[in-house]
Amino acid sequence: MKIPMQPVLLVIMAVALGPALSLGGCATTQPPAYYLLEPAARTGDSDGTGKACMTIGMRPVEVPSYLDRRQIMVRTGRNELAISEFNQWAEPLDENIARVVAQNLESLTCADVVKTLPAGRSRPLDYRLQVRVNRLEGSLGGRAVLDAEWSLVEAGDGRTVQSRRSRFVEPVAGDDYTSLVSAHSELIAGLSREIAQAVATLPTARDRQ
C-alpha cells in the first residue's frame, strides 16, 4: 500500500530546490574587461622635415615574471600584490609597452623607431634601444609607480651612448581599473619623454653623412 506524500511536504521541497535549479540552469561567468596602454597625444615631427633623422631599433622590452601575465597586478599592501581575473591586458604587457614607447618616441623626435628583427633581417639601424621594467604597479585610488632601466646603443660598434635608471610616480585618479591603466600610460609617457631627451642629443644620420 502506497502512502501519499502530504501536499505541505511537496511545497517545502519545491521551495528548497527552486533556487538551486535556477542557479544551475542560468549561472553565468562574468567576462573579463580588457585594457591597453595608450600613447601620449601626438605632437608631430620634431624637426619639421617629415623625414626620419635616424632609425632606432626597439628591442623586446623585459618585464619581471610577476608582471608577465594577462591579469592586471594591483598593490594591496606594503608587501602584498593581488591579481584580478576580471581585468586583463588585451595583449602581452611587454609588447604593449614596446609599441607605446615606439609611438611616443616617433611623436616626440624625428626618429623612426622599428622593431628589432633577428640578425640578417633587420633594416639598417643607427641606434638600438633596450628597456627593462623592474616595477610597474599601482593601487586603486592611490598611486602608480614605474621603475625602469634603459639604454641607447650605437648600432655600428655596440657602444652605449646613453644609459639610465628611471623612476616615475603618477596618482591614480579613481578606484577603478580604467584609472589605473591611464596612470600606467602616463608613466610610460614620462619614460618616453626622458628617452626622447636623450635621443635629441645624439648625432643624427644626416650629421654623420
Domain-wise residue ranges, the chain: 47-200
pLDDT digits (tens, 9 = 90+) for 105-144: 999 999 999 998 665 556 789 999 999 999 999 999 999 9
| DSSP 3-state of 118 | coil
pLDDT digits (tens, 9 = 90+) for 47-102: 556 678 999 999 999 999 999 999 999 999 888 999 999 999 999 999 999 999 99
Q: What percent of the chain has pLDDT over 90?
A: 69
CB 101 within 8 A of CB 191: yes
CB 126 within 8 A of CB 155: yes
Q: What percent of the chain has pLDDT over 70?
A: 77
What was the pLDDT predicted at 178?
A: 98
Q: Which helix (H) or strand (E) holds 24?
A: helix 7-26
What is the DSSP secondary-structure string of 78-105? TTEEEEEEEEEESS-HHHHHHHHHHHHH
Average pLDDT over residues 23-49: 73
User: C-alpha angle with apex 37: 34 to 43, nearest 5 degrees?
Assistant: 145
* CATH architecture, domain defined by 47-200: 3-Layer(aba) Sandwich (3.40)
Q: How far apart are CA 10 and CA 5, in angstroms?
A: 7
